[in-house]
Each structure stands twice: as structure tokens, then as C-alpha cells.
Amino acid sequence: MASPEMNIPKQGRLAIYDAPNAPFRLEPYALAAPAAGEVLVKIRMSTICRSDIHSYQGHRPNPCPGVLGHEIIGDIVALGKGVTQDMRGDALAPGDRVTWSEYFIPGSNYYTEVLDLPQKSRGVDKYGHMAVTTAPHHHGGFGEYCYILPHSWILRLPDVLTDEEATPINCGVATMIAVTEAANLRIGQTVVVQGLGLLGLYGAAIAKARGARVVIGLDTVAARRELAYKFGVDLALDPTMDRAALLHEVRALCRPEGPDAVIEVCGAPEVIPLGIEMLRTGGTYVLGGVVNPQAMVTLDANLLLKKLLTLRGVHNYHPRNLIEALDFVVANRMRFPFHDLVDGKYSLDNVGTAMADAAARRVLRAAITP
């Protein structure tokens, strides 16, 4: 049997940016056999998430020179000592196609053991959020290889999924599994989704899969409202329409008083008061999009009190949500056209173009295929 080192190339290229909005440059970095607890993966596809764009444009702090990309899938090149199976217990071997959590943690700690919030562990770090100078350098999606680092959660991908269906699972889909879980959706309930970007479309589809009777989507972009009907949205409205007319239309479908849950995934804090206003008594409002600091908002707190509302925030997802995300996409891939959401493909040399197209929303999800 060949020694594992024989299969490992000497180096792999990474698309690096030196400062916000600076052009990307391709640079080779050395590769070595994965250390204990690590897995070396040859990247198949990396999709550009809205948070990659925020980082690249400098809206949130990200160390430079950096390598972005955290929605990644790849084929296992080599397994480090101690890694034999995925988080579900399935055996892992070189050649397996895998996804993994967008974050990794320092190990067992107060947040894992006491709070059951491993995703918020002190020292949690994310793929595509570290300086490229930090070893082992290959820890972002915009490159040829990536090391899955210790205390990540890995899942082997079933053959039935296309790369396009599989790549957004570890961020977009898993996040919306967590958001809809926080909304506590039950069979027959009604939901309003504020924002019909990728998160909103997955959110609508997941809400339907969780048994929602009615899903209403709000977005200012007509093309997105049109697309939303393919992802479980029953009625898509422009939130800039007359406020009274909007509330009337929402309540007509969410009788008698309003939706059971409202989900914010548009990243604009100014939409929050409208969502709070339309909720039924005892309803739940979930924040999933306002990830940038200083998302200031003024709202009538008396409404929260008088209507007995629940307000929830979701940032990162629990590892169990990654399994649920995969199972959701596998089970619903014939019902919703997830494959079509990845509508732009770019080589590693064209990361700059991909980023510009994604930022300008010329594509819904841009994919880098090294």
C-alpha cells in the first residue's frame, strides 16, 4: 500500500486579497500530510456567501492577507491520525466527497458542556475568516485545497446530490434550519419571510417541509419574488407597497390575526418593526440576516410586551443542524430546484469577477470551481 504522503501534491494555489476591495492574486502555498485530527480535501466547489462579500468589502473585520470562502465541498485526499468517521458515524476514506461545518472550535468547553452552544465557543473560528499567513494556510474555500481542522463536524455526501445542491448546505441551508427551528414552526402554521435571497428561498422551502400552511415572502426585487414561488412561497409581496394594504394581504392569508412567525433574512434592520407589527399575539420573530455590527433599530417595545412576542437571534448553527440540512436537501431535491440556485461558475483565476457579480446580485450564488 502506498504511503499517504505519496498522494499529496507539494503545493496548492490560493486566491488571496491583501486589503478590503483589493484585487485577488493567486499564490501557491505548501501542502503536507494532515496533522492529527485534520483532513486534507481537494476542493470541488466553493460558493460565495453574502458574508464573504461583507468581509471583502470591509463591512466586518476580517484579517488580511486573507483567503475567503466557507461554503465548501471537496474530496478527501488524506485523513489525519484519529479521523476515521464523519459526525454521523459513517466511515471516511480518501476519495469521499464531504461537507463540513463552517466553523471549528478549540475543543470541549463551557459552551459545549453547559450551554449546548458549541457554535458560540470562545475561540471559535471560521473557514475563510483567517489570515492566509496562519498555518496551515489552506483554510478557505477560494483555493485548490483545504484542511478540515480539528473539532469541525464532517458529513459524507450521498452520490445523489449534485455539487450545486451540496455546496450551500454547510452555511445557507444549515443556517435556515437553525432559523426555522428557532421560529418553532409547527404543522399548519403561517410564516412571513423578510428577504428572498438565497437564505429566504431555503427558509421558505424548509418552512414548507416543516409543515407550514402558508409562507409569504417579502422582497423589493420582482425577479426574486417570481423565483420564490418555486421554493414554497405562496404569496410574494413588495414590502414597499402601502403598509395598510400589505398588512391586510398578510392577515387575509394568516387568519385571524397574523403570522405565527416572521423571519428576517434581508440584513436590513429597518424591516424589523413591520415584522413585529404583523405578528399574531404570542408569535415569534427570528433575526437571521442582520450579521453586521451597528444594526440599529427603533421599535415599540410595548408591542413585544402586549402581544407576548418572542424575539430570537440566530448566529452560526448547532452541529445537529448540519445533519438536518443535508437530510432536508436530499429529501426535497425533487420538490424544489436547489440545483438552479448556483447560477454562476468561475475558475479560481476569476474570483474577482465572481465576487463582483455576486456583490452586484447579477447571480444568485456564484461558485468557484478550481
Contact residues toward Zn ion (CB under 5 A) are 49, 51, 171
* Closest approach of Zn ion to the CB of residue 31, in Å: 25
* Closest approach of Zn ion to the CB of residue 48, in Å: 9
Q: What are phi and psi of 346, to 5 degrees?
A: -140, 145
Distance CA 245, CA 252 (A): 10
Nearest position to Zn ion, beta carbon: 49
* Closest approach of Zn ion to the CB of residue 256, in Å: 37
Non-local (6+) Cβ contacts of 316 within 8 A are 102, 103, 119, 120, 124, 175, 178
* β-strand partners of 13: 28
Q: What are phi and psi of 100, to 5 degrees?
A: -155, 160
Distance CA 30, CA 15 (A): 14
* Closest approach of Zn ion to the CB of residue 318, in Å: 16
Report the interhelical angle of 172-182 vs 319-332 (nearest 10°): 100
* Closest approach of Zn ion to the CB of residue 251, in Å: 33
Considering the complex, state which of residue 49 and residue 355 has its C-beta at the smaller distance from Zn ion.
Answer: 49
3-state secondary structure 333-356: CCCCCHHHHEEEEECHHHHHHHHH
Task: Judge contact between 100 and 152, C-beta under 8 A.
Answer: yes
Considering the complex, state which of residue 48 and residue 348 has its C-beta at the smaller distance from Zn ion.
Answer: 48
Considering the complex, state which of residue 49 and residue 169 has its C-beta at the smaller distance from Zn ion.
Answer: 49
Non-local (6+) Cβ contacts of 297 within 8 A are 269, 270, 272, 273
* Closest approach of Zn ion to the CB of residue 173, in Å: 10
Considering the complex, state which of residue 41 and residue 72 has its C-beta at the smaller distance from Zn ion.
Answer: 72
Helices and strands, number each (H, E), in the chain: 11, 17
* Closest approach of Zn ion to the CB of residue 171, in Å: 3
Considering the complex, state which of residue 29 and residue 56 has its C-beta at the smaller distance from Zn ion.
Answer: 56
* Closest approach of Zn ion to the CB of residue 222, in Å: 25
Considering the complex, state which of residue 48 and residue 196 has its C-beta at the smaller distance from Zn ion.
Answer: 48
Considering the complex, state which of residue 173 and residue 246 has its C-beta at the smaller distance from Zn ion.
Answer: 173
Identify the CA nearest to 51 among candidates 122, 147, 127: 127
Considering the complex, state which of residue 51 and residue 284 has its C-beta at the smaller distance from Zn ion.
Answer: 51
- Phi-psi region for residue 315, left (φ > 0), alpha (ψ -120 to 50) or beta? beta
Distance CA 265, CA 193 (A): 7
